[in-house]
Each structure stands twice: as structure tokens, then as C-alpha cells.
Amino acid sequence: ATLCFQAFLQMCNLPIRVICRANAEYMSPSGKLPFIHVGNQVVSELGPIVQFVKAKGHSLSDGLDEVQKAEMKAYMELVNNMLLTAELYLQWCDDVTVEEITHPRYGSPYPWPLNRILSYQKQWEVRRKMKAIGWAGKTLEQVLEDVDQCCHALSQRLGTQPYFFNKQPTELDALVFGHLFTILTTQLITDELSEKVKNYSNLTAFCRRIEQQYFEGQERDSAAIAAPSSKRSLLR
Amino acid sequence: MAAPMELSCWGGDWGLPSLHPESLTVMAYAKFSGAPLTVNTINKSWRTPKGDLPVLVSEDVVISQPAKILNFLRKQKYNADYDLSAKQGADTLAYIALLEEKLLPALLHTFWIEAENYCSVTKPWFASRIAFPLSLYLPGKMSREALNRILLTKGGPPLYSLTEVEAQIYRDAKECLNLLSKRLGTSQFFFGDMPTTLDAFVFGFLAPIYKVCFPRVHLQEHLKQLPNLCRFCDDILTCYFRLAVSGHSPAGQDTADANLQKLTQLVNKESNLIEKMDDNLRKSPQHPPRKLTTLKLAAGGEESSPMSRLSP
């Protein structure tokens, strides 16, 4: 999810600095990651951040008409509904993955026994949520099938265009990029999830294009410039 | 050809075939795709399935969620999305996700959590359809499940109290209704002239909000300000469900139609007779005028009496 924000802010041409903190969830006003810290304001979650950035005068979706905006919101909900839930499911409800990867990673900043307690607590929370929305009864195959359906829909919508809505990137592009890139590059026990995404060549090309355009440029810039204060920076 | 299919679902009221959004979606899809479903509404029998409704039973196969039921119907070649392009199919998935995320919480809240609505309308209605003593337990369970779902999916920080969550979900629902209205525009269905899966889902979610008479109705009032969505629901009800907006039963409608037909035929017959008489009169002008008036009056009399006999 962090990647969605970075992509979005890059697309708006706003320079940012990424900091990793163990207690980030507690620093965030809504308990959700990631959040941005601008001057003396703290804003978290994609929706409020987009609105905040819009209020400051940068918006990516101004060129869309009403029907396209409706479509964009609908696709963002689809991504949140399917991809995000599938990622959560895979991380917390698939026993093998939980044991081998999630528990160690989630609990790593803390000493024993806090790491085990916190990760079990989070797991219990996620499983409760899955049960409430009806995903608890799903097997891994069904979840993968849902992801496949979602990717198929995204692939159809993208077609051969460079971005989802003509030539300009929008919030939807940032969101999709964040999720797909995470799926493609995260190491899991099995590669089935990333295989599903790799089946759609236009989606992988889309990810690569955005990475090259917005992220490799940033690395070159930060290596070249010695004094960051000389850059116009909105975010500390 | 295909095995007989039976759908068990919640019944309807206030002009709707069902009050339950998911049951309504499946029924609408079946009508759109022409699938021959026998619909059994739950009413006080012990054969109530314990699981979620709606449930489709075909031979030995039992399927329970709307998405899976629709998939099954498509596999049986009852496909309402046949004419859609791939991109439109993708749009369908996206809009359904939008409905589930933004509109469903508010719908659940209006039915099951809003205290006045729940106590005066929802609970008695559902309790009257379930056999005793389950009727004491099941509505409460459904209400608790709805609250749970809303709190777990929408209730995280920074929303700390139920009133804040409620405010947020109603804001989301109104935004969703506005988006749907903009997407529908002036066309009859979401993708042209034929209804598809998306129309079934939108109808299933909107119709209960639109038609059920609750004491607390701010979502319904918002919906009524979007005339194209109201017209969309009414169209589907009159065309596909034959329960007209005014609530006539199908039998009454047919009798009225038959009466109208008979009346038209009689009027036509009378006008033909009158024309013939006129012709006769013109051909034989030596007839005395008195007889002419008698004939005219008689024709007028004959004409008016059948109409008065058959007027509703």
C-alpha cells in the first residue's frame, strides 16, 4: 500500500522521503498505514490524502468527466475489495504463509514474547473481518480465482492504453500499480499469486512502465543532489 | 431440457417480489435471462434452510451465494451478459464492488440497525415469515450479523463511535447513488437496451430502499431525488415482474386488458354498422326523415349501452 502512495505522489510531482518506523501504526491518526507528515499536519489513508493533495492544488483526475469519475471510483473499489482482501487473506489466513513469513515479519521489531502476541492479535482481527464479509469459507483456490477475475477485468479495462484513462495517470493507476507491484515482487511460499498476475502481459508492462517513469528517476535525483533543502519539498 | 430449478428466498411486500436484496438480485437475473425458476418464498414452514438465503436447488446441487447462483445459471446457458463486450464485463465487476462497499452497509443499517426501522418494520415482517420459535431468535441474529459486518469493515479508527460510523456510511451511500445515477444517465439500462447482471444487482440493492415504507427514510428521500434511478426500478418492476407500481395483481390486469379488448371490438362493430346505415340512407334518400332520426338515436343508444356495461 505504501507503494500506491509513493506512486501517486510521484505522479503529482511531489517529492517525498520514505521512513520506516516500527511504531508507525500507532503514530498514524487512523491506525492505518501509510501516512504522510506535512508541516504540522498528519494525514493517513488514500482517500483523505488524495483530498488533501487536491486541496493544495494538485489533482490527477481533473480531466475526467462525471461518468469517467464514477468508473474510476468503481474500479478503485474493485481493487480494494478483491486485491486488498486477497492479499490480507493470503498473509493472515493461509496457515503455511502465516507461520513461515507473516509472523516473523510482523513481529520482528519486538522482543519475544511481544512479537508472538501482537501477531496473533492481528491475525485474530483479520480472521474476524474475513468471517464477517464471507471470505472465511473460501479456500485458497477460490481466492486465487477471484484475484484472476479481478486482474482479467483490469487487463480488459487497460487494453492497449498506457494508463487506465487515456494518456494521463490517475489515482486508479497509482492504486493498481501499488498492489500489482507488491504482488509481483513479494516473496511468498508459492508463486501462484504472482503467476496469476503475470498471465496478463499488459498489466506487467504497465507496472514496469510506471516503475521506470516515476521511480528510477527519483533514485537518480536523490543520488545526484547533495543538499535536499535546495529542493522544493512539501514533505519532510 | 435443463433440470428443474428451485429457488428458496424471502418473500416480498410493498410491491416487491422480495425484500431481501440478494434474493431480489437472483430473481431479477432469472427474469432477464429467461431462466425457468420456481420460486419458493419462505413462510412459516420448518423446511427453512438454516444457511443463507437465497438458495438454489437443482437436482442434487445446492448453491447459496448470489454470485455463485448467477455463475451456475450462466453455465446452464441462461446468460444475460451475452451481448456485452469484455470491457463492459469488467465494468460490471467494478460497479458491483462499488455497490457492495458503499451501498450495502447503509442498506443493512436501514433495515437491521436503525432502531425504529428494525422494531417497527423489519423484525415483525421477518418474524411473521419464520416458524416459531425460530422467529424469536433469527431476526436478532441477522441484526447482530449486520452490525458486526458494518463495524468490522467500516468501524476502525478514526471513527470511534457508532454515530460517526453511521454518518460515514450514509455519506458513502449517497455518493454511490449519485455515481450510479450519473452512470445510468438517460438510458434505459446500464448497458444499452437489454438488462444485464449489473442491472440485476443494482435493482436488487435499490428496490428495497425505494419501496419499503420505513419510519426513518433519509436514504429513500435521497434516492427519490434521482429520478432516473426511480424510473429504472419502476421499469423493471412493471416489465419483468408484472406487479405494477400501483399494486394490481396479474389476474386483475389481465381482466382489465380483456375488457378493453372486448370494448374496442364492440365499438368497431358499432361504427361499422353506423357506416353501413349511412350508406343505405344516402343510396335511398326517399326515406322519411323521421325514420332517419330514429335510426340515428337507436345507433347512438346501442353504442352507448355496451360501453356503460363494461366500464370498470
Closest-CA residue to B199 (of B240, B170, B227): B240
B65–A134 C-beta distance less than 8 A:
yes
Q: What is the DSSP string of B131-182?
A: -TTHHHHHHHHHHHHHHHHHHHHH--TT--SHHHHHHHHHHHHHHHHHHHHH
Q: Residue A109 corresponds to which cell in the numbers above? A: 521489531
Residue B289 belongs to a domain: no
pLDDT of residue A2: 67
B183–A71 C-beta distance less than 8 A:
yes
pLDDT of residue A175: 84
* pLDDT higher than 50, residue B298: no
pLDDT band at residue A222 using 50, 70 and 90 as cut-offs: very low
CATH number at B36 reads: 1.20.1050.130
Residue B273 belongs to a domain: no
Question: Measured between CB atoms, which of B86, B98, B148 is closest to A156?
Answer: B86
* pLDDT higher than 80, residue A143: yes
Residues, chain A: 236
pLDDT (tens digit, 9 = 90+) per residue, A156-214? 888 888 887 767 778 888 888 888 887 887 766 667 777 877 888 888 888 888 888 87
- β-strands B37-41, A41-44 pairing: unpaired
Q: Name every chain A residue with its beta carbon within 8 A of the beta carbon of B149.
A: 132-133
Q: By the 8 A CB rule, do B173 and B217 touch?
A: no
A134–B94 C-beta distance less than 8 A:
no
DSSP state of A212: I
* pLDDT higher than 80, residue B281: no
* pLDDT higher than 70, residue B38: yes
pLDDT of residue A228: 33
pLDDT of residue B49: 53
pLDDT of residue A113: 81
Residue B302 belongs to a domain: no
Portion of chain A with pLDDT greater than 90, in percent = 0
Q: Which residues contact A40 (CB under 8 A, 6 or more apart)?
A: none
* pLDDT higher than 50, residue B127: yes
Omega before residue B250 within 30° of 0, cis: no
Closest-CA residue to A130 (of A179, A79, A92, A183): A92
DSSP state of A228: G
Portion of chain B with pLDDT greater than 90, in percent = 0
* pLDDT higher than 60, residue B110: yes
Tell whether A104 lies on the interface with B, counting CB pairs under 8 A: no
Residue B150 belongs to a domain: yes
pLDDT (tens digit, 9 = 90+) per residue, A77-119? 888 888 888 888 887 887 777 777 777 777 777 787 887 888 8
pLDDT (tens digit, 9 = 90+) per residue, B90-101? 888 888 888 888
Residue B89 belongs to a domain: yes
Omega before residue B158 within 30° of 0, cis: yes
Closest-CA residue to A188 (of A85, A91, A104, A121): A91
Which of the pair, B1 or B266, is modelled with greater confidence? B266
Amino acid, single-letter form, for residue B297 = L
Q: What is the mean pLDDT of residues A54-83?
A: 77
Closest-CA residue to A128 (of B166, B156, B160): B156
A29–B101 C-beta distance less than 8 A:
no
- Indicate the burial class of B212 (C-beta count within 10 angstroms; 0-12, 13-18, 19 or more): buried
A24-28, A143-147, B126-130, B236-240: the lowest-pLDDT one: A24-28
**Residue among A129, A138, A145 with most chain B CBs within 10 A, to mutate:** A129
B153–A156 C-beta distance less than 8 A:
no
Question: Measured between CB atoms, which of A30, A31, A153 is closest to B90?
Answer: A153
Beta bridge partners of B38: B6
Which of the pair, A23 or A153, is modelled with greater confidence? A153
DSSP state of A42: E
Distance from C-alpha of B157 to C-alpha of A205, rounded to nearest angstrom: 37
B65, closest residue in chain A (CA to CA):
A134
Tell whether A149 lies on the interface with B, counting CB pairs under 8 A: yes
- Give backbone dihedrals phi and psi of B38, rounded to 5 degrees, phi first: -95, 125
Q: Name every chain A residue with its beta carbon within 8 A of the beta carbon of B180.
A: 70
Residue B125 belongs to a domain: yes
Q: By the 8 A CB rule, do A70 and A83 touch?
A: no
Alpha helices in A12-133 (DSSP H): 24-27, 46-55, 66-78, 85-92, 95-97, 103-107, 114-133
Distance from C-alpha of B10 to C-alpha of A134, rounded to nearest angstrom: 20
Residue B310 belongs to a domain: no
ipTM: 0.74
pLDDT of residue B285: 61
* pLDDT higher than 80, residue B273: no
Portion of chain B with pLDDT greater than 70, in percent = 75
Helices and strands (H, E) in chain A, number of each type = 13, 2
Structural domains in chain A plus CATH codes? 63-214 (1.20.1050.10)
pLDDT of residue A90: 81
Distance from C-alpha of B272 to C-alpha of B278, rounded to nearest angstrom: 10
* pLDDT higher than 70, residue B46: no
A133–B156 C-beta distance less than 8 A:
no
Q: What is the mean pLDDT of residues B3-27?
A: 82
* pLDDT higher than 70, residue B220: yes
Which of the pair, A225 or B207, is modelled with greater confidence? B207
Residue B182 Cα, gap to closest chain A Cα (Å): 6
SS3 A186: coil
pLDDT of residue B259: 61
* pLDDT higher than 60, residue B307: no
Helices and strands (H, E) in chain B, number of each type = 13, 4
* Total domains, chain B: 1
Q: For residue B68, give its domain range.
A: 5-241
Tell whether A143 lies on the interface with B, counting CB pairs under 8 A: no
pLDDT (tens digit, 9 = 90+) per residue, A112-121? 788 788 888 8
pLDDT of residue B246: 42
